Amino acid sequence: MARTTTTTASAIEPGSWAHTGEEVAPGIRTGGMVPPQELLPETLPHGSLSESGRPRPPLRDELRRIPNLRNVGNVLAVWLQSFGVVALAIWIDRPVAYAAAFLLMGRAFALFGILTHEAAHRLLFSNKRANDFVGRWLLGYPGFIPLDIYRRGHMAHHRDEFGPDEPDLVLYANYPVTRASMRRKLLRDAFFVSGWSNLKALLVALGSKRGRPVATRIIAVQLVLWATLWVVGAWWVYPILWLAPWMTVWRVINRLRAIAEHGGMQRSDDRRETTHHVEQGLLARFWFVPYNTGWHLAHHVDSGVPFQHLPRLHDGLVAAGWVRPEVIYPNYRALWRTLASG
Protein backbone atom coordinates (compact mmCIF):
# COMPACT_ATOMS: atom_id res chain seq x y z
CA MET A 1 0.00 0.00 0.00
CA ALA A 2 1.47 3.32 -1.04
CA ARG A 3 1.89 6.05 1.53
CA THR A 4 -0.79 8.72 1.22
CA THR A 5 -0.34 12.37 1.96
CA THR A 6 -2.99 13.70 4.33
CA THR A 7 -4.13 17.29 3.96
CA THR A 8 -5.49 19.11 6.98
CA ALA A 9 -7.25 21.82 4.99
CA SER A 10 -10.85 21.89 6.09
CA ALA A 11 -13.71 24.22 6.71
CA ILE A 12 -13.76 22.88 10.25
CA GLU A 13 -10.60 23.35 12.29
CA PRO A 14 -9.74 20.22 14.31
CA GLY A 15 -10.68 20.79 17.91
CA SER A 16 -13.21 23.54 17.24
CA TRP A 17 -15.92 21.12 18.38
CA ALA A 18 -14.61 20.99 21.98
CA HIS A 19 -17.58 20.89 24.35
CA THR A 20 -18.41 20.31 27.98
CA GLY A 21 -18.43 16.52 27.86
CA GLU A 22 -20.26 14.05 30.07
CA GLU A 23 -19.69 13.43 33.78
CA VAL A 24 -19.25 9.68 34.27
CA ALA A 25 -18.33 9.86 37.98
CA PRO A 26 -17.96 12.62 40.57
CA GLY A 27 -15.22 14.91 39.29
CA ILE A 28 -14.64 12.80 36.15
CA ARG A 29 -15.78 14.28 32.84
CA THR A 30 -15.13 12.64 29.48
CA GLY A 31 -15.99 13.35 25.86
CA GLY A 32 -15.16 17.04 25.84
CA MET A 33 -13.12 16.77 22.63
CA VAL A 34 -14.90 14.07 20.66
CA PRO A 35 -15.49 14.97 16.99
CA PRO A 36 -19.14 15.33 15.91
CA GLN A 37 -20.77 12.31 14.31
CA GLU A 38 -20.88 13.90 10.85
CA LEU A 39 -17.07 13.74 10.79
CA LEU A 40 -17.07 10.04 11.66
CA PRO A 41 -18.59 8.33 8.61
CA GLU A 42 -19.06 4.56 8.50
CA THR A 43 -16.93 3.64 5.48
CA LEU A 44 -15.68 0.23 6.61
CA PRO A 45 -15.19 -2.52 5.61
CA HIS A 46 -13.03 -1.33 2.74
CA GLY A 47 -10.53 -3.29 0.68
CA SER A 48 -8.27 -5.20 3.06
CA LEU A 49 -9.75 -3.55 6.18
CA SER A 50 -12.52 -5.10 8.24
CA GLU A 51 -15.50 -3.33 9.83
CA SER A 52 -13.36 -2.45 12.87
CA GLY A 53 -10.50 -1.18 10.70
CA ARG A 54 -8.26 -4.14 11.44
CA PRO A 55 -6.45 -5.52 8.41
CA ARG A 56 -7.60 -8.81 6.94
CA PRO A 57 -5.30 -11.49 5.48
CA PRO A 58 -2.95 -11.32 3.66
CA LEU A 59 -2.39 -7.67 4.70
CA ARG A 60 -2.88 -8.67 8.33
CA ASP A 61 0.03 -11.11 8.13
CA GLU A 62 2.26 -8.45 6.58
CA LEU A 63 1.47 -5.75 9.13
CA ARG A 64 1.75 -8.07 12.13
CA ARG A 65 5.19 -9.37 11.19
CA ILE A 66 7.66 -8.54 13.98
CA PRO A 67 11.01 -7.14 12.75
CA ASN A 68 13.28 -8.91 15.23
CA LEU A 69 16.67 -7.77 13.91
CA ARG A 70 15.58 -4.15 13.65
CA ASN A 71 14.43 -4.24 17.25
CA VAL A 72 17.78 -5.63 18.40
CA GLY A 73 19.24 -2.49 16.83
CA ASN A 74 16.60 -0.31 18.50
CA VAL A 75 17.38 -1.66 21.97
CA LEU A 76 21.13 -1.23 21.46
CA ALA A 77 20.56 2.27 20.09
CA VAL A 78 18.63 3.34 23.21
CA TRP A 79 21.56 2.41 25.42
CA LEU A 80 24.15 3.91 23.08
CA GLN A 81 22.19 7.17 22.86
CA SER A 82 21.63 7.36 26.60
CA PHE A 83 25.21 6.83 27.69
CA GLY A 84 26.54 8.62 24.62
CA VAL A 85 24.73 11.79 25.67
CA VAL A 86 26.17 11.55 29.18
CA ALA A 87 29.69 10.77 27.96
CA LEU A 88 29.62 13.65 25.50
CA ALA A 89 28.48 16.09 28.19
CA ILE A 90 31.31 14.98 30.49
CA TRP A 91 33.83 15.28 27.66
CA ILE A 92 32.67 18.82 26.74
CA ASP A 93 32.43 19.72 30.44
CA ARG A 94 30.50 22.96 30.02
CA PRO A 95 27.24 24.05 31.72
CA VAL A 96 25.40 24.18 28.39
CA ALA A 97 26.46 20.60 27.64
CA TYR A 98 25.13 19.37 30.98
CA ALA A 99 21.88 21.29 30.47
CA ALA A 100 21.44 19.74 27.03
CA ALA A 101 22.21 16.29 28.45
CA PHE A 102 19.62 16.82 31.20
CA LEU A 103 16.92 17.50 28.62
CA LEU A 104 18.04 14.71 26.29
CA MET A 105 18.04 12.20 29.12
CA GLY A 106 14.40 13.05 29.72
CA ARG A 107 13.85 12.06 26.11
CA ALA A 108 15.86 8.87 26.72
CA PHE A 109 13.15 7.72 29.13
CA ALA A 110 10.61 8.21 26.34
CA LEU A 111 12.69 5.78 24.28
CA PHE A 112 12.87 3.25 27.12
CA GLY A 113 9.16 3.70 27.78
CA ILE A 114 7.93 3.23 24.23
CA LEU A 115 10.05 0.14 23.64
CA THR A 116 8.79 -1.25 26.97
CA HIS A 117 5.28 -0.57 25.69
CA GLU A 118 6.14 -2.58 22.58
CA ALA A 119 7.40 -5.42 24.78
CA ALA A 120 4.19 -5.24 26.84
CA HIS A 121 2.29 -5.97 23.63
CA ARG A 122 4.80 -8.78 22.88
CA LEU A 123 5.70 -7.02 19.65
CA LEU A 124 9.39 -6.43 20.37
CA PHE A 125 10.55 -9.98 19.58
CA SER A 126 8.64 -12.96 18.22
CA ASN A 127 10.25 -15.18 20.88
CA LYS A 128 8.15 -14.48 23.99
CA ARG A 129 10.91 -15.31 26.48
CA ALA A 130 13.36 -12.98 24.74
CA ASN A 131 10.64 -10.32 24.43
CA ASP A 132 9.88 -10.39 28.16
CA PHE A 133 13.51 -10.68 29.31
CA VAL A 134 14.59 -7.65 27.28
CA GLY A 135 11.38 -5.82 28.14
CA ARG A 136 12.00 -6.28 31.86
CA TRP A 137 15.75 -6.10 32.38
CA LEU A 138 17.06 -3.94 29.53
CA LEU A 139 14.13 -1.54 29.06
CA GLY A 140 11.51 -1.60 31.80
CA TYR A 141 13.57 -1.78 34.98
CA PRO A 142 16.17 0.77 33.81
CA GLY A 143 13.22 3.07 33.01
CA PHE A 144 11.49 2.39 36.37
CA ILE A 145 8.70 0.42 34.66
CA PRO A 146 7.45 -2.90 36.12
CA LEU A 147 6.69 -4.60 32.80
CA ASP A 148 4.26 -7.24 34.06
CA ILE A 149 2.22 -4.83 36.18
CA TYR A 150 2.24 -2.29 33.39
CA ARG A 151 1.14 -4.96 30.90
CA ARG A 152 -1.92 -5.89 32.96
CA GLY A 153 -3.05 -2.30 33.29
CA HIS A 154 -2.28 -1.47 29.69
CA MET A 155 -4.24 -4.43 28.35
CA ALA A 156 -7.22 -3.22 30.40
CA HIS A 157 -6.76 0.15 28.71
CA HIS A 158 -6.91 -1.45 25.26
CA ARG A 159 -9.86 -3.69 26.07
CA ASP A 160 -12.08 -0.78 27.08
CA GLU A 161 -10.67 2.73 26.82
CA PHE A 162 -12.32 4.96 29.44
CA GLY A 163 -14.09 1.92 30.86
CA PRO A 164 -14.34 0.98 34.56
CA ASP A 165 -10.89 -0.67 34.53
CA GLU A 166 -9.12 2.16 32.67
CA PRO A 167 -5.88 2.70 34.67
CA ASP A 168 -5.28 6.23 33.38
CA LEU A 169 -8.79 7.66 33.44
CA VAL A 170 -7.85 10.57 35.71
CA LEU A 171 -4.98 11.47 33.37
CA TYR A 172 -7.25 11.65 30.30
CA ALA A 173 -10.43 13.03 31.86
CA ASN A 174 -11.82 16.57 32.22
CA TYR A 175 -10.33 18.02 29.04
CA PRO A 176 -10.40 20.65 27.79
CA VAL A 177 -9.05 22.30 30.94
CA THR A 178 -8.20 25.93 31.48
CA ARG A 179 -4.75 27.26 30.61
CA ALA A 180 -4.12 27.82 34.31
CA SER A 181 -4.95 24.19 35.07
CA MET A 182 -2.66 22.95 32.30
CA ARG A 183 0.12 25.19 33.59
CA ARG A 184 -0.25 23.79 37.11
CA LYS A 185 -0.08 20.21 35.84
CA LEU A 186 3.07 20.84 33.82
CA LEU A 187 4.74 22.75 36.66
CA ARG A 188 4.10 19.83 39.01
CA ASP A 189 5.73 17.58 36.43
CA ALA A 190 8.68 19.88 35.79
CA PHE A 191 9.52 20.54 39.45
CA PHE A 192 9.71 17.03 40.94
CA VAL A 193 6.19 16.88 42.44
CA SER A 194 4.90 14.16 40.09
CA GLY A 195 8.31 12.50 40.01
CA TRP A 196 8.54 12.27 43.78
CA SER A 197 5.04 10.77 43.89
CA ASN A 198 6.16 8.02 41.51
CA LEU A 199 9.46 7.43 43.30
CA LYS A 200 7.70 7.30 46.68
CA ALA A 201 5.28 4.68 45.33
CA LEU A 202 8.25 2.55 44.29
CA LEU A 203 9.82 2.85 47.75
CA VAL A 204 6.52 2.11 49.49
CA ALA A 205 6.17 -1.03 47.34
CA LEU A 206 9.25 -2.42 49.10
CA GLY A 207 7.11 -2.76 52.20
CA SER A 208 4.36 -4.63 50.38
CA LYS A 209 4.51 -8.42 50.07
CA ARG A 210 2.90 -8.20 46.64
CA GLY A 211 4.95 -5.29 45.32
CA ARG A 212 8.31 -6.12 46.90
CA PRO A 213 9.65 -8.56 44.26
CA VAL A 214 9.35 -6.21 41.28
CA ALA A 215 10.26 -3.11 43.28
CA THR A 216 13.42 -4.89 44.45
CA ARG A 217 14.37 -5.73 40.87
CA ILE A 218 13.88 -2.15 39.70
CA ILE A 219 15.92 -0.72 42.56
CA ALA A 220 18.62 -3.38 42.04
CA VAL A 221 18.99 -2.38 38.39
CA GLN A 222 19.15 1.29 39.38
CA LEU A 223 21.87 0.52 41.94
CA VAL A 224 23.87 -1.40 39.33
CA LEU A 225 23.69 1.62 37.03
CA TRP A 226 24.80 3.93 39.83
CA ALA A 227 27.61 1.59 40.88
CA THR A 228 28.85 1.35 37.29
CA LEU A 229 29.04 5.13 37.05
CA TRP A 230 30.74 5.26 40.45
CA VAL A 231 33.42 2.81 39.24
CA VAL A 232 34.25 5.03 36.26
CA GLY A 233 34.52 8.04 38.55
CA ALA A 234 31.23 9.74 37.73
CA TRP A 235 28.96 8.85 40.67
CA TRP A 236 27.20 12.21 40.41
CA VAL A 237 25.91 11.41 36.90
CA TYR A 238 23.22 9.07 38.25
CA PRO A 239 21.36 11.54 40.51
CA ILE A 240 21.81 14.51 38.17
CA LEU A 241 21.59 13.03 34.66
CA TRP A 242 19.54 9.88 35.25
CA LEU A 243 17.24 10.13 38.25
CA ALA A 244 16.49 13.86 38.05
CA PRO A 245 15.50 13.87 34.33
CA TRP A 246 13.23 10.89 35.00
CA MET A 247 11.57 12.85 37.79
CA THR A 248 11.13 16.04 35.74
CA VAL A 249 11.67 16.20 31.97
CA TRP A 250 10.24 12.74 31.39
CA ARG A 251 7.15 13.63 33.45
CA VAL A 252 6.43 16.61 31.18
CA ILE A 253 7.03 14.58 28.01
CA ASN A 254 4.86 11.72 29.25
CA ARG A 255 1.92 13.96 30.15
CA LEU A 256 2.02 15.91 26.88
CA ARG A 257 2.12 12.67 24.89
CA ALA A 258 -0.57 10.91 26.93
CA ILE A 259 -3.14 13.70 26.78
CA ALA A 260 -2.44 14.09 23.05
CA GLU A 261 -3.44 10.44 22.67
CA HIS A 262 -6.68 10.35 24.68
CA GLY A 263 -7.29 13.66 26.45
CA GLY A 264 -10.98 14.63 26.35
CA MET A 265 -12.15 11.54 24.49
CA GLN A 266 -14.74 9.03 25.70
CA ARG A 267 -15.69 5.37 26.06
CA SER A 268 -16.76 3.98 22.69
CA ASP A 269 -16.42 1.00 20.36
CA ASP A 270 -15.40 3.51 17.68
CA ARG A 271 -11.70 4.22 18.22
CA ARG A 272 -12.11 7.63 16.60
CA GLU A 273 -14.01 8.63 19.74
CA THR A 274 -11.34 7.30 22.12
CA THR A 275 -8.11 8.38 20.40
CA HIS A 276 -6.80 11.50 18.66
CA HIS A 277 -4.63 11.56 15.56
CA VAL A 278 -2.01 14.24 14.90
CA GLU A 279 0.15 14.89 11.84
CA GLN A 280 3.64 13.66 12.67
CA GLY A 281 6.47 16.18 12.41
CA LEU A 282 10.15 15.38 12.82
CA LEU A 283 10.62 17.47 15.97
CA ALA A 284 7.65 15.87 17.73
CA ARG A 285 8.79 12.41 16.70
CA PHE A 286 12.21 13.14 18.16
CA TRP A 287 11.03 14.51 21.53
CA PHE A 288 7.57 13.19 22.31
CA VAL A 289 6.46 10.34 20.09
CA PRO A 290 9.44 8.20 19.03
CA TYR A 291 9.06 4.80 17.40
CA ASN A 292 5.88 5.78 15.53
CA THR A 293 3.87 5.98 18.74
CA GLY A 294 2.25 9.14 17.34
CA TRP A 295 0.22 6.95 14.97
CA HIS A 296 -1.79 6.12 18.05
CA LEU A 297 -5.22 5.82 16.46
CA ALA A 298 -3.89 3.06 14.19
CA HIS A 299 -2.37 1.38 17.25
CA HIS A 300 -5.75 1.31 18.97
CA VAL A 301 -7.47 0.02 15.86
CA ASP A 302 -5.11 -2.99 15.87
CA SER A 303 -2.78 -3.26 18.84
CA GLY A 304 -1.15 -6.35 17.32
CA VAL A 305 0.65 -4.30 14.67
CA PRO A 306 4.32 -3.50 15.51
CA PHE A 307 5.18 0.18 15.56
CA GLN A 308 7.14 -0.03 12.30
CA HIS A 309 3.91 -0.75 10.37
CA LEU A 310 1.50 1.70 12.03
CA PRO A 311 1.90 4.45 9.38
CA ARG A 312 0.87 1.98 6.70
CA LEU A 313 -2.24 0.95 8.62
CA HIS A 314 -3.11 4.61 9.19
CA ASP A 315 -2.77 5.35 5.49
CA GLY A 316 -5.21 2.53 4.77
CA LEU A 317 -7.74 4.04 7.18
CA VAL A 318 -7.36 7.43 5.49
CA ALA A 319 -7.70 5.87 2.02
CA ALA A 320 -10.90 4.16 3.18
CA GLY A 321 -12.34 7.54 4.20
CA TRP A 322 -12.71 6.32 7.78
CA VAL A 323 -10.20 8.88 9.07
CA ARG A 324 -11.05 12.22 7.53
CA PRO A 325 -8.74 15.25 7.32
CA GLU A 326 -11.13 17.27 9.48
CA VAL A 327 -10.38 15.16 12.56
CA ILE A 328 -6.58 15.16 12.15
CA TYR A 329 -4.78 17.84 14.12
CA PRO A 330 -2.13 19.59 11.99
CA ASN A 331 0.46 19.41 14.79
CA TYR A 332 0.77 18.82 18.53
CA ARG A 333 0.74 22.52 19.35
CA ALA A 334 -2.75 22.79 17.87
CA LEU A 335 -3.98 19.86 19.93
CA TRP A 336 -2.37 21.08 23.16
CA ARG A 337 -3.94 24.53 22.63
CA THR A 338 -7.35 22.89 22.35
CA LEU A 339 -6.69 20.73 25.38
CA ALA A 340 -6.04 23.95 27.34
CA SER A 341 -8.99 25.92 25.91
CA GLY A 342 -11.51 25.15 28.65
Q: What is the pLDDT of residue 8?
A: 37
What is this structure's pTM? 0.94
Tell me, yes or no, whether 114 lies in a domain.
Answer: yes
Question: Do 52 and 152 fall into the same domain?
Answer: no
Q: Give the DSSP letter string of 146-209.
A: -HHHHHHHHHHHHHSTTSTT-TTHHHHTTPSPPHHHHHHHHHHHHTTHHHHHHHHHHHHHTT-T
Tell me, yes or no, whether 52 lies in a domain.
Answer: yes
Q: Which residues make Cβ contacts (< 8 Å) with residue 278, sequence separation at least 6?
A: 260, 284, 294, 328, 329, 330, 331, 332, 334, 335
Using DSSP, state whether 130 is helix, strand or coil. Answer: helix
Q: What is the pLDDT of residue 12?
A: 53
Question: Do 231 and 307 fall into the same domain?
Answer: no
Averaged confidence pLDDT in the chain? 94
CB 314 within 8 Å of CB 277:
yes
> Could you say which of 203, 224, 247 is where a domain stops?
247
Q: Give the DSSP letter string of 255-298.
A: HHHHHHHHTT----SSGGGT--EE---HHHHHHT-TTTTT-HHH
**What are the beta bridge partners of residue 322?**
none
Tell me, yes or no, whether 174 lies in a domain.
Answer: no
Give the total number of structural domains in the chain.
2
Question: Do 45 and 76 fall into the same domain?
Answer: no
Question: Do 223 and 341 fall into the same domain?
Answer: no
Question: Do 325 and 217 fall into the same domain?
Answer: no
Question: Do 273 and 302 fall into the same domain?
Answer: yes
Q: Low-confidence residues of the chain, pLDDT below 50?
A: 1-11
Question: Do 317 and 207 fall into the same domain?
Answer: no
CB burial readout 58-97, b (16+ within 10 A) else e: ebbeebbebbeeebeebbeebeeebeebbeebbeeeeeee
Q: What is the pLDDT of residue 46?
A: 96
Task: For residue 161, count CB atoms less than 10 angstroms from its CB and return exposed for 0-12, middle for 13-18, buried for 19 or more.
Answer: buried
Structural domain boundaries enclosing 287: 1-6+39-63+257-342
Tell me, yes or no, whether 16 lies in a domain.
Answer: no
pLDDT single digits (tens) 204-249: 999 999 999 999 999 999 999 999 999 999 999 999 999 999 999 9
Question: Do 114 and 222 fall into the same domain?
Answer: yes
> Could you say which of 207, 229, 247 is where a domain stops?
247
Q: What is the pLDDT of residue 74?
A: 98
Question: Do 328 and 296 fall into the same domain?
Answer: yes
